[in-house]
C-alpha cells in the first residue's frame, strides 16, 4: 500500500480530497492544484461550493485569478458529497476547531469529518488532520474511529497530523513557503505524509508523533499569546505611569539581542491565537496541571476591549463629555490589518461595550461591508470629513493601510489610537489618545 501511494504522490496522479474549504483548505487546494494534483474540495456550505465552482474565492489569500484557471482545467472541483472520498488517495481535514463558551475544545467538526472519512476509507489512503487541537486528538479520537473499519494504520491506511500555519494577509509567508511540521501515528505514516507535503511546500519537518506535531502548533500560538499578554499588561502599566508604551517598545527594540518586539492592541483576534492556548490549558487540566501563563495571558488579553472603552470614556470626560450619548466612529473591524476576517475580532467586543454604555456607534471598514452583532446587522459607513468631524471620538481599532490617517487626525475631534497608526502624523497630536 505504501509503495502504491508513494508512486501516486510522486507522479501527481494521487487525488486529494480536502475537507473544509475555508482559510486553510482553499489555499491548500490551490497549491496542490498548481502542482498538478486533482483536488476535490468538500464543504457543507452550499454557497461556498457554488462560489468555488464558479472560480471565485471568499478568502483573502486566494485570488480569483489564481483559482479560476484551476477550476476551469478540472484540477479543483468543490462538492458537498462526501462519497467523493471514494476517489481520494490523500485526505487533509481542514475544519474549524472553536472553543465552547466555557472555553472547552469543540471537536465536533473534526468528529463529523472523520465519521464521513470512515465511511469511505479504503486501503492505501492517507488521512491528515490539519485542524488545531489538543495533544492526543489524532491518536485518541481519530485513530479508533478509522480502525473500526478493520483496516490497520501503517499497513492498510496512513494517519498523520500536520498543523496549518497560515497567517492571513501575510505578504511574505503563505501556504507554500511556510515550513510544514508533520507527525504520523507510525514511522511509515510520518514518511508518506512528509512526502505528500514536500510536493507542494518548500520544506516539511518530521517530528516523532502526532502528539508532538499537535503540541508544536500550540507552542507557537501560546508563545504569541503570552508575549502579547505581557506587552498588553505593560501598556496598562504605562497608562498608570503616564508614559508612552510605543516609545518604550521602540527603544527596547534597538537592543540587537535578547529582545523581540511585541505590540499591544485592543485584544486578540483570528482563529488561532485567542483559541489555541486554551486547547493546551484544557488538556493539562485533565492531567491535574494548571497552565498559569496561558490563563493569565488569556485573562489580560480578553479584557483589553474593556480597557479601550474605559480609555475612550476617560478621554471624553476630560473634554467634559459623557460616553453615554456620544457618537463613536470605529475605524476597522477586521481582526488584523488589510484583511476581511472578523473571527474573534476585538472590534466586535469594543462596539458591543460602547453600545452597552449608551454610545451611538458606527463603523467603517473598506474590507468588511457588514458585521452581525447578535441579532442585528451593522453596515460599514463611508468615511468622510463630515463623518469624522461629527463624531465625538474616532477609535482606530484596526489599522488598515487604506485609511488616510493625516485626514483622520485633521478632521476628527478626538482619536483613540489602539494600534499606533497615527505615529507618523505630525499635526494636531493633542487630539490623539494612545493605548
345/418 Cα distance (integer angstroms) = 14
Pairing mode, strands 158-161 and 180-184: antiparallel
Is 238 marked active-site? Answer: no
Q: What is the DSSP string of 213-255?
A: HHHHHHHHHHHHHHHHHHHHHHHHHHHHHT--HHHHHHHHTT-
Query: Which helix (H) or strand (E) covers residue 376, if one does?
Result: strand 376-379
In the sheet with 126-129, reading across from the earlier edge strand, the strands are: 76-79, 38-42, 15-19, 90-93, 126-129, 158-161, 180-184, 204-206
User: For cell 452597552, what's the residue?
Assistant: 356
Q: Which of 94, 189, 238, 272 is catalytic?
A: 272
In the sheet with 432-434, reading across from the earlier edge strand, the strands are: 360-364, 327-331, 393-396, 415-417, 432-434
Q: How far is CA 185 from the centre of its chain?
A: 26
Cell output for 193 = 505524509
Q: Is the dihedral of CA 217, 220, 221, 222 positive or negative?
A: positive
Point out the residues that are catalytic: 272
Amino acid at each position: 500500500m505504501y509503495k502504491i501511494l508513494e508512486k501516486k504522490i510522486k507522479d501527481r496522479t494521487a487525488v486529494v480530497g480536502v475537507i473544509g474549504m475555508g482559510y486553510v483548505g482553499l489555499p491548500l487546494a490551490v497549491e496542490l492544484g498548481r502542482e498538478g494534483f486533482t483536488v476535490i474540495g468538500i464543504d457543507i456550505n452550499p454557497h461556498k461550493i457554488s462560489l468555488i465552482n464558479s472560480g471565485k474565492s471568499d478568502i483573502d489569500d486566494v485570488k480569483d485569478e489564481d483559482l479560476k484557471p484551476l477550476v476551469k482545467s478540472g484540477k479543483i472541483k468543490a462538492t458537498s458529497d462526501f462519497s467523493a472520498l471514494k476517489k481520494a488517495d490523500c485526505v487533509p481535514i481542514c475544519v474549524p476547531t472553536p472553543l465552547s463558551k466555557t472555553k472547552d475544545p469543540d471537536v465536533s467538526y473534526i468528529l463529523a469529518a472523520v465519521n464521513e472519512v470512515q465511511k469511505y476509507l479504503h486501503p492505501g489512503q492517507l488521512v491528515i488532520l490539519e485542524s488545531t487541537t489538543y495533544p492526543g486528538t489524532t491518536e485518541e479520537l481519530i485513530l479508533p474511529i478509522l480502525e473500526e473499519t478493520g483496516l490497520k494504520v501503517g499497513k492498510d491506511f496512513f494517519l498523520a497530523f500536520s498543523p496549518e500555519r497560515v497567517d492571513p494577509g501575510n505578504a511574505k509567508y503563505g501556504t507554500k513557503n511556510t515550513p510544514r511540521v508533520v507527525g504520523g501515528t507510525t514511522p511509515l505514516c510520518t514518511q508518506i505524509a512528509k512526502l505528500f507535503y514536500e510536493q507542494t511546500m518548500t520544506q516539511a519537518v518530521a517530528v516523532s508523533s502526532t502528539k508532538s506535531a499537535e503540541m508544536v502548533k500550540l507552542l507557537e500560538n501560546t508563545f504569541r499569546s503570552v508575549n502579547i499578554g505581557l506587552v498588553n499588561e505593560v501598556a496598562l502599566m504605562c497608562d498608570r505611569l503616564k508614559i508612552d508604551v510605543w516609545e518604550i517598545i521602540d527603544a527596547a527594540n534597538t537592543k540587537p539581542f535578547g529582545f523581540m518586539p511585541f505590540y499591544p492592541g485592543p485584544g486578540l483576534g483570528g482563529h488561532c491565537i485567542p483559541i489555541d492556548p486554551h486547547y493546551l490549558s484544557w488538556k493539562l487540566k485533565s492531567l491535574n496541571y494548571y497552565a498559569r501563563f496561558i490563563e493569565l495571558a488569556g485573562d489580560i488579553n480578553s479584557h483589553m476591549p474593556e480597557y479601550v472603552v474605559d480609555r475612550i470614556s476617560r478621554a471624553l470626560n476630560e473634554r467634559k463629555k459623557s460616553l453615554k450619548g456620544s457618537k463613536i466612529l470605529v475605524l476597522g473591524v477586521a481582526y488584523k490589518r488589510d484583511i476581511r476576517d472578523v473571527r474573534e475580532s476585538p472590534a466586535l467586543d469594543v462596539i458591543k461595550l460602547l453600545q452597552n454604555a449608551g454610545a451611538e456607534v458606527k463603523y467603517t471598514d473598506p474590507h468588511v461591508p457588514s458585521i452581525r452583532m447578535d441579532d442585528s446587522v451593522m453596515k460599514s459607513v463611508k468615511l468622510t470629513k463630515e463623518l469624522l468631524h461629527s463624531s465625538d471620538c474616532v477609535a482606530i481599532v484596526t489599522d488598515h493601510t487604506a485609511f488616510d490617517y493625516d485626514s483622520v487626525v485633521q478632521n476628527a475631534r478626538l482619536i483613540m489610537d489602539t494600534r499606533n497608526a497615527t505615529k507618523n502624523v505630525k499635526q494636531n497630536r493633542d487630539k490623539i489618545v494612545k493605548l
